[in-house]
Structure 1
Amino acid sequence: MNPNPASMKSLIAFEATARLGSMTAAAEAERTTQPTISQRIRGLEEYLGLVLFDRHGGRLSLTVEGERFYREMAPSLTTLRDTCDRFVRHGQGPAPTVVIAADAGFTHLWLLPRLPALKRAFPDFSFHLMPIDRSDDPQLLAADIAIRFGPYLPQEEGRLVAREAVFPVCSPDYAQAHGLSGPLSAQDLSRLSLLHQDIRNPRWLDWAQWCRHAGLTPPPAEDIFAYHNYALLLNAALAHQGVALGWSNLVEEYLVTGQLTALGPQVTREDYGYWLSVKHQRSAVTEPVRDWLLDAVHRGEGATSGDPGRLR
């Protein structure tokens, strides 16, 4: 066995290949070549006396020993990288600023209430929230962390944060006044005040589209007033003015506090949801913030599920 310890470069090459699934992707991430990555991994295997990757069949996959080695070494490598970056930032002076961009509804209704907790989790960082409603806005693409709502885009390296789940919501007082206690019918829709979002934005469901997905006959499109801001739309629902369509992640806090009531049925669209992407992969600044946001969304989904039968 080679008496020299495994080099940091070989460990980084192995970790990147295991995480990204290919030596080519690892080479791009490390700004080197695929043969260099392969050579470093071979050297690591010789030092350990283990085969870390199964290279048969034209596909690259971790062996049992490789998976065990990855699980044990990856956290230590991340800690070491974070420590180095932290000392570099300390030497550079000002704390880093993380720019998080998302649509206005998600920014105001989900991100902003969690900003104090985010600051407590990362006291050395400063955060700038940018509400952006256009998915092709250059500022969204330039943000350190971008959260986009819409369908899956093959060309985008986004991670699914939460799938779309849409259901009618209203205030408890409005529900009581109109005898609403479960999934709405076509007859219910014809007698209720339906609060509309901007029907010209194809990314968001309007009542007519929601009805088609729910298998209901849409009510006549008469006297429609479109709220061009989702926060204003929810304010109207909170003020007992009618029934709005609620996206689960945007109305979760109101459901938990009892300010809004979920009616149903719930509608989902294949491959629609919130997609999170980071500008710089493997950054010690953005990666932990990204993980915190993902964890916060998942915790929120569990906290607001309520009685799932009501939404089906």
Structure 2
Amino acid sequence: MDWDKLRIFHAVADAGSLTHAGDVLHLSQSAVSRQIRALEESLNATLFHRHARGLILTEQGELLFDATRAMAKRLDTATARIKDSEEEVFGELRVTTTTGFGSLWLAPRLPALYEKYPDLKIDLMLEERVLDLPMREADVAIRMKEPSQADLIRKRLMSVRMRCYASPDYLRQHGRPVEVEDISKHRLICQNPSSAQVAAGASLVQMLLSYDVPSLLTVNNYFGVLQAVLSNLGIGVLPDYLIENFPDLERVLPEVESNEVPVFLAFPEELRHSKRIAAFRDFIQDEVIAHRKKIRERVED
């Protein structure tokens, strides 16, 4: 099968348009169209339904697109490995983690990584969905549970617990809850129990809501919960790792916390020798060690 025709087919399927694919490939629309017709003739199959709004893959086209997509990801992996210099760290690194951890713990630490490796190009993908690392939806992941996918190298980084926090101003105005039942006298700020989050956090929220909380604010990520707590709106359920960067927040109801949530770093086995992966892994491990030290010092003080 002609590799060049497959490359053009993949671009058309990805763009959904001959014109847009031509722009990406720097080819005319007619040249792209000729290549697609030739590929369809060689396969004796129709790959696209054509209509005024663009192109839609047929069932046969979907099968071929699945194959070319897998090929493209494998080529991306090979390219990344080839470009990894023996002594330099450069190029794109796609990192995925949750919105809360990525925005509240990881992003504030990235300046130190860029200072050390200024030629890195990090694509930080923050979402609760678990991306498929073996299929190269991302290069490296930080996840709030041990990855179950095969062919991954994984390392446990740290543990997190969800706890209750409030601002000093809020506590001065509304008082400090002494027992968990006192939460019924305060506004609770948390993720909606039905939203995507770790099970331990959802269980803690469900327990707190059982105490007939009179006023409630739910947000679909911890960054939003934090902003509401900093704005003196109430008592928030937040991960304990943010206290290092927001030391003025006060923990309330110290006996109330979630079960332990493990945090893992993972990347595909085939990227084991990637210089970018190694640089990011070592950076994260150093930051975790520094984070633990600061937390211990805070507790001792």
TM superposition score category, shorter chain reference: 0.5 to 0.7
CA 1:220 to 1:295, structure 2 compared with 1: closer, same or farther past 3 Å? same
Structure 2 residue ranges without an equivalent (≥5): 1-82
In the other structure, the counterpart of 1:267 is: 257
Q: 2:234 aligns with which of 242, 248, 252?
A: 242
Tell me how far 1:226 sits from its aligned partner. 1.7
Deviations 1:139-182 (A, max 9, x none): 996312111113664856421121122211111111222332xx
AA aligned to 2:130 is S
Conserved? CA contact 2:190–2:225, under 8 Å = yes
In the other structure, the counterpart of 1:277 is: 266
In the other structure, the counterpart of 2:281 is: 290
Output the CA distance in 2 between the equivalents of 1:173 and 1:229.
23
What SS does structure 2 have at the residue aligned with 1:234? helix
Tell me how far 1:307 sits from its aligned partner. 5.2
Output the CA distance in 2 between the equivalents of 1:138 and 1:299.
28
- After TM superposition, the structure 1 = structure 2 runs for residues 176-255 of structure 1, keeping only pairs within 5 Å, are 176-180=172-176, 184-200=178-194, 201=196, 203-206=198-201, 209=204, 218-220=210-212, 223-255=215-247
What SS does structure 2 have at the residue aligned with 1:86? coil
Tell me how far 1:232 sits from its aligned partner. 1.2
Conserved? CA contact 1:252–1:300, under 8 Å = yes
Identity %: 24
Conserved? CA contact 1:160–1:273, under 8 Å = yes
Output the CA distance in 2 between the equivalents of 1:240 and 1:163.
28
CA 1:184 to 1:150, structure 2 compared with 1: closer, same or farther past 3 Å? farther
CA 1:245 to 1:309, structure 2 compared with 1: closer, same or farther past 3 Å? farther
Output the CA distance in 2 between the equivalents of 1:283 and 1:305.
33
In the other structure, the counterpart of 1:100 is: 95
What SS does structure 1 have at the residue aligned with 2:274? coil
* Count of paired positions: 215
Structure 1 residue ranges without an equivalent (≥5): 1-83
Deviations 1:64-94 (A, max 9, x none): xxxxxxxxxxxxxxxxxxxx9535879xxxx
- After TM superposition, the structure 1 = structure 2 runs for residues 22-41 of structure 1, keeping only pairs within 5 Å, are none
- After TM superposition, the structure 1 = structure 2 runs for residues 36-185 of structure 1, keeping only pairs within 5 Å, are 85-86=84-85, 95-136=90-131, 142-150=137-145, 153=148, 157-180=153-176, 184-185=178-179
Output the CA distance in 2 between the equivalents of 1:187 and 1:140.
48
Output the CA distance in 2 between the equivalents of 1:236 and 1:85.
43
CA 1:250 to 1:137, structure 2 compared with 1: closer, same or farther past 3 Å? farther
Output the CA distance in 1 between the equivalents of 2:146 and 2:104.
21
Output the CA distance in 1 between the equivalents of 2:180 and 2:164.
13
Tell me how far 1:97 sits from its aligned partner. 1.2
CA 1:141 to 1:118, structure 2 compared with 1: closer, same or farther past 3 Å? same
Deviations 1:11-55 (A, max 9, x none): xxxxxxxxxxxxxxxxxxxxxxxxxxxxxxxxxxxxxxxxxxxxx
In the other structure, the counterpart of 1:303 is: 294
Tell me how far 1:192 sits from its aligned partner. 1.3
Output the CA distance in 2 between the equivalents of 1:143 and 1:89.
21
What SS does structure 1 have at the residue aligned with 2:119? coil
AA aligned to 2:251 is A
RMSD: 3.4
AA aligned to 1:189 is I
AA aligned to 1:119 is Y
In the other structure, the counterpart of 2:45 is: none
What SS does structure 2 have at the residue aligned with 1:129? strand
Output the CA distance in 2 between the equivalents of 1:144 and 1:154.
14
Conserved? CA contact 1:109–1:251, under 8 Å = no
CA 1:231 to 1:177, structure 2 compared with 1: closer, same or farther past 3 Å? same
What SS does structure 2 have at the residue aligned with 1:146? strand
